Amino acid sequence: MAWLILIISGAFEAVWAVALSKSEGFSRLAPSLVFAVALAISMGGLAIAMRTLPAGTSYAVWVAIGAVLTVGYSMATGDEALSPVKIALLLGLITCVVGLKLAH
């Protein structure tokens, strides 16, 4: 169950990261509110997962999930350039996260 919570909280990390960007320095209300809610959910889920998973593994997986989803979203929406090198690096990051899960 801790792994599922960790994955979901990692996804919410991507939500708050995108919302933070869209808030334009907290000058737009709706994205700022999405940021605050997603941040609370993301951090709360990470804290719950860390009750049973090691802190280092939890944090690495949480950050990786958030980073991959944030970059993927940005590339899908055209906010960030798509390139084979970026895709290969993101796949490498995903491979590392799977490795951490298998090593656990």
Domain total for the chain? 1
The pTM of this model reads 0.90
Mean pLDDT of 11-37: 98
**By CB neighbour count within 10 A (0-12 exposed, 13-18 middle, 19+ buried), where does 38 fall?**
buried
Predicted confidence (pLDDT) at residue 15 exceeds the cutoff of 90: yes
Is the backbone of residue 53 left (phi > 0), alpha (psi -120 to 50) or beta?
beta
Domain extent, residue 69, equals 2-103
29-55 mean pLDDT: 98
Residues 16 and 38 sit within 8 Å (Cβ to Cβ)? yes
Q: Is the pLDDT of residue 28 over 90?
A: yes
Residue 44 pLDDT > 90: yes
Crossing angle of the two packed helices 55-77 and 29-49, in degrees rounded to 10: 150
What pLDDT score was predicted for residue 97?
Answer: 87
